[in-house]
Amino acid sequence: MQLLRCWRRSHESKPSAGALKARLLTRTQYLYVMAVYYSVMHFLIKAAFLTYYLRLSPNRIFRLWVGVGFGLNTGLLIINLLIIVFQCIPVSAALTIKGRLTAQCMNQHFVLMAPAVVVSATLPYV
């Protein structure tokens, strides 16, 4: 019961405009960092599987196809990071809402979905 009263009191007052702006800025920066983290983690997971595949067979052709997988994996990482980092010109505008208003930016839906689609398209290969 005491917890409910404290929760009600903390939600009764409306947050100030400055607090909302700071919270929104933090969320935007968080999404930016998480997109980079997502791409790097998928690269590392796929690289771990491909490294394991190298140990499975001494067959030269099999190892060649695993090497092609490494190349695809590395290329996808580079493409995903370029899409994420250079989503706005200037680059620093991607981190702030105010900066996005004056900068030239890609469609945000494309920036969020493109890396996931590209990673998903290569999952059957690995």
Residue range 30-52, pLDDT digits in tens? 888 888 898 899 899 999 999 99
Boundaries of every domain in the chain = 19-122
Decide if 89 contacts 39 (C-beta within 8 A): no
Rounded CA gap, 6 and 9, in Å? 5
Q: Answer whether 0.75 is exceeded by the pTM.
A: no
- The b/e string for 76-112 (b: 16+ C-beta within 10 A; e otherwise) is bbeebbebbeebbeeeebbebeebbeebebeeeeebe
Closest CA to 29 of 95, 103, 97: 95
Question: What's the half-sphere exposure (Cβ side, CA atoms, 13 Å) at 113?
Answer: 5
* Joined tokens for residue 108: 């945000």
The sign one gets for the Cα dihedral 38, 39, 42, 47 is negative
48-79 pLDDT tens trace: 999 999 888 889 999 999 999 999 999 999 99
